[in-house]
C-alpha cells in the first residue's frame, strides 16, 4: 500500500482534514477531503476569543479527524492553525488543552508560512514557474504573495477574511446597499497596503475561492472574470440566505460568504488591474502534505 499522509487545518471558517497518497507522477490522490464549519474567524472578530462551546466542538472534530486518519493508516495528522487562532486571546489555553487531551501539538503558523504552503499546494495544477500573484482569502485574513520560479518573493497578510468582514460590517442577507459600498471602499483602502505591482496573472486558492467556482461555474471552469463577480454581488445582496444557497448550489454556511468573498476578489482584481483570475483546486493542506513528502525524501 502506498504511503499515506494527513494534514488538518484549523481555519477561520472551517476545520479541514486531508488524507492523501502520493501518486507516481508526483500528484496526490485524496482519500479524505472533509471539513467541519466552525466559523471561528467571525466569532473571534466579534468577541476576541474562542468560546468554551467552540473549543469543545473543535476538540471533538480533531478527535474524529485523528480517528479517521488512523483508520486509513496515516500518522497523526500534521495540524496547523491560522488567523482565527492567531487572533484569539485565549489561543494558548485552547491549544494547550488540545495537546493534553488528544496528544496533538498544533502548529500556530504565521501568515508567511500559510502563504508558502498555499504556493506549494497550487503547484499541483498551476504553473508557478512564471511570475504570479497568489491570493488566498479565508475567514479571518487574506494572504497575497508574489511567486516566481516556485519561490515566494513578497507576501502580505491583510485583515479582509470573510468572517471578519461579516462581523465588522454586520453583513446580512439581504444586504444593505450602503454597507456593501462601505465594504468595497474599505477593501480598496486595505489593499492599497499591498505593494505588489499590477500586471501579473492572478491565481486564487482556498475554500472561499472554490465556493465562488461552485456558485458561478457548475461545469467546474476554473477561470472567474470580474464581471461574473459583479453579477454575483448584485444578485446575492438582494436575496435571503436560504435562496442564496439553493440558487447558487452552495451549503447554507458557505452562502453567507459569497457576498464578502466575491467582494474581496473583485477588489483584488481591480487593485491588480486584471479582468480575471484562475482558481486552483489545491491549497494550504495539499502544500502541508507535499512538504511532508519532500521532508521524507530528503531524510531517505
Indicate the pLDDT class of residue 151, thresholds 50, 70 and 90. Answer: confident
Start-to-end CA distance of the chain, whole Å, equals 18
Name 186's Cβ contacts closer than 8 Å, sequence gap at least 6.
Answer: 169
Lowest mean pLDDT among 12-26, 51-65, 220-234: 12-26
* pLDDT over 80 at 230, yes or no: yes
pLDDT at 3: 87
As a residue count, the chain comes to: 300
DSSP label at 284? H
* pLDDT over 80 at 221, yes or no: yes
* pLDDT over 90 at 258, yes or no: yes
What whole-number percentage of the chain has pLDDT above 70?
Answer: 98
What is the C-alpha to C-alpha distance for residues 76 and 66, in angstroms, rounded to an integer? 6
Indicate the pLDDT class of residue 1, thresholds 50, 70 and 90. Answer: low
* pLDDT over 50 at 78, yes or no: yes
What whole-number percentage of the chain has pLDDT above 90?
Answer: 88
Q: What is the pLDDT of residues 25-50, one digit of tens each?
A: 778 999 999 999 999 999 999 999 99
Q: What is the pLDDT of residues 94-130, one digit of tens each?
A: 999 999 999 999 999 999 999 999 999 999 999 988 9
Indicate the pLDDT class of residue 75, thresholds 50, 70 and 90. Answer: confident
**If you average pLDDT over residues 255-268, what whole number do you get?**
96
What is the C-alpha to C-alpha distance for residues 112 and 56, in angstroms, rounded to an integer? 29
Across the chain, how many H-helices and E-strands are there? 12, 11
Tell me the average pLDDT of the chain.
Answer: 94
pLDDT at 150: 82
Decide if 297 contacts 222 (C-beta within 8 A). Answer: no
Indicate the pLDDT class of residue 300, thresholds 50, 70 and 90. Answer: very low
pLDDT at 171: 93
Model pTM score? 0.95
* pLDDT over 70 at 297, yes or no: no
**If you average pLDDT over residues 11-25, what whole number do you get?**
93
**If you average pLDDT over residues 127-140, what whole number do you get?**
94
Q: What is the pLDDT of residues 156-192, one digit of tens each?
A: 999 999 999 999 999 999 999 999 999 999 999 999 9
**If you average pLDDT over residues 266-287, what whole number do you get?**
97
* pLDDT over 50 at 250, yes or no: yes
User: What residue ranges define each of the domains in the chain, with the CATH number in brackets?
Assistant: 4-111 (3.30.420.40), 126-279 (3.30.420.150)
> Which candidate, 220, 219, 222, places its Cα nearest to that of 202?
222
Amino acid at each position: 500500500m502506498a504511503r499515506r499522509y494527513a494534514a488538518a487545518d484549523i481555519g477561520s471558517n472551517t476545520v479541514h482534514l486531508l488524507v492523501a497518497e502520493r501518486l507516481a507522477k508526483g500528484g496526490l490522490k485524496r482519500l479524505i477531503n472533509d471539513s467541519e464549519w466552525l466559523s471561528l474567524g467571525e466569532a473571534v472578530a466579534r468577541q476576541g476569543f474562542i468560546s468554551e462551546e467552540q473549543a469543545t466542538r473543535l476538540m471533538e472534530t480533531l478527535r474524529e479527524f485523528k480517528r479517521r486518519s488512523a483508520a486509513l493508516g496515516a500518522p497523526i495528522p500534521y495540524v496547523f492553525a491560522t488567523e482565527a487562532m492567531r487572533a484569539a486571546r485565549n489561543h494558548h489555553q485552547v491549544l494547550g488543552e488540545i495537546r493534553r487531551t488528544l496528544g496533538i501539538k498544533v502548529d500556530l503558523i504565521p501568515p508567511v508560512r500559510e502563504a508558502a504552503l498555499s504556493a506549494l499546494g497550487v503547484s499541483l495544477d498551476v504553473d508557478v514557474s512564471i511570475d504570479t500573484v497568489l491570493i488566498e482569502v479565508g475567514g479571518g485574513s487574506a494572504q497575497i504573495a508574489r511567486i516566481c520560479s516556485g519561490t515566494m518573493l513578497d507576501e502580505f497578510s491583510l485583515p479582509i477574511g470573510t468572517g471578519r468582514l461579516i462581523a465588522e460590517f454586520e453583513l446580512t442577507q439581504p444586504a444593505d446597499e450602503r454597507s456593501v459600498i462601505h465594504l468595497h471602499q474599505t477593501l480598496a483602502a486595505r489593499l492599497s497596503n499591498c505593494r505588489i505591482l499590477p500586471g501579473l496573472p492572478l491565481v486564487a486558492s482556498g475554500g472561499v475561492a472554490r465556493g465562488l467556482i461552485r456558485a458561478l461555474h457548475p461545469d467546474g471552469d476554473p477561470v472567474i472574470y470580474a464581471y461574473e463577480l459583479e453579477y454575483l454581488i448584485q444578485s446575492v445582496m438582494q436575496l435571503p440566505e436560504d435562496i442564496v444557497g439553493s440558487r447558487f448550489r452552495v451549503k447554507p454556511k458557505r452562502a453567507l460568504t459569497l457576498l464578502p468573498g466575491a467582494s474581496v476578489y473583485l477588489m483584488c482584481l481591480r487593485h491588480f488591474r486584471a479582468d480575471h483570475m484562475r482558481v486552483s483546486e489545491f491549497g494550504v493542506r495539499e502544500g502541508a502534505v507535499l512538504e511532508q513528502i519532500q521532508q521524507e525524501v530528503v531524510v531517505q
